[in-house]
Amino acid sequence: MPRFETLPPLDGLIVLGAKLNSEGKPGRIARARLMHALALWQAQGGRPYLLLSGGPTALPGLMPVTEAGAMAAAARTWAEEHGGPALREHLDRRLILEEHSQSTQASAMHLLPVVLHLGLREVGLVSDSLHLRRALFLFRRHFRRHAITLHPLAAPGLVRHYWRQRRYFWLTRMVLRESAAWLKALTLHPFRRFGP
């Protein structure tokens, strides 16, 4: 993964959603992705747009909530804690929510017109290390006809955390799920390479 200081000035950071917890807040994976994106955003002087992607989730006893909406609420809390109302207001001006997608492919499809409308050219793609390679493949497939450079930016530490906690079953489930998703992506578009 590139170091913060080696990244070019970014126009936007796409943050891919993940499962929410029982309280309707970002779970461990979604939170790790979001916190990594916020650190990158801050390192870039708060300049890039933050595009949060993730559709609705039904949770028992709660009003319907989206992954993007839950991440946005957590981002606003982070901004309030790290810079007060001024930082929160600035963050609000850079936040864009995509609240329809139920898959990575749908996120790529729904975010392309947003990225084009905003005229973004250098865009960071934020996910965890297990998911990021496939996400980059799918986004490049949708973005390849446009002058948009995607920078893969993996949130660190998730796999290490699960390994140190000896949550081997959970890790195995994550790997198997990602493998199945890769198989689906490659079956639909076999032996094709997209972009550099």
What SS3 class is residue 53? strand
Predicted confidence band of residue 181 (pLDDT cuts 50, 70, 90):
low
Distance of CA 88 to CAs 65, 80, 93, 124, 177, Å? 21, 5, 9, 21, 36
Rounded to whole angstroms, the Cα distance separating 101 from 107 reads 5
Burial class (CB in 10 A: 0-12, 13-18, 19+), 131: buried
pLDDT for 159-176, tens place per residue? 565 546 666 555 666 666
pLDDT for 8-40, tens place per residue? 999 999 999 999 998 999 999 999 999 999 999
pLDDT for 114-144, tens place per residue? 999 999 999 999 999 888 998 999 999 999 9
pTM, full prediction: 0.82
What SS3 class is residue 96? strand
All structural domains of the chain = 4-157 (3.40.50.620)
pLDDT for 72-89, tens place per residue? 999 999 999 999 999 999
